[in-house]
């Protein structure tokens, strides 16, 4: 989904390398989720029940809010 790419790709390009190994794994786990779940978390701003996924979703959203275009 294009909407997800707009959020996820800049995060990978600008922030992924600086993540801890645990957070990198969380990001990889995030990408293994269904697009429909990702859409709900990022577009509807719902929080995943899984604490690890909630952490990385929060980090991605914060990056999207604060990144320079």
State the helix-helix crossing angle for 35-43 and 51-66, rounded to 10 degrees: 60
Domains of the chain: 2-66 (1.10.150.250)
Give me the pLDDT at residue 69, please: 63
Between these two residues, 12 and 2, which has the higher pLDDT value?
A: 12
Going by pLDDT thresholds of 50, 70 and 90, the confidence category of residue 5 is very high
Residues 43 and 16: beta-carbon distance below 8 Å? no
- C-beta separation of 46 from 54 below 8 A: no
Express each pLDDT in 7-65 by its tens digit.
999 999 999 999 999 999 999 999 999 999 999 999 888 999 999 999 999 999 999 99
12 vs 67 pLDDT, higher one: 12
- The encoded tokens of residue 17 equal 């390398």
pLDDT at 1: 76
């Amino acid at each position: 989904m294009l909407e997800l790419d707009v959020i996820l790709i800049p995060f990978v390009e600008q922030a992924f390398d600086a993540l801890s190994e645990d957070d990198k794994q969380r990001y990889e786990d995030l990408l293994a989720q269904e697009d429909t779940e990702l859409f709900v978390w990022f577009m509807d701003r719902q929080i995943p029940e899984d604490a690890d996924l909630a952490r990385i979703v929060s980090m991605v959203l914060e990056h999207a809010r604060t990144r320079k275009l």
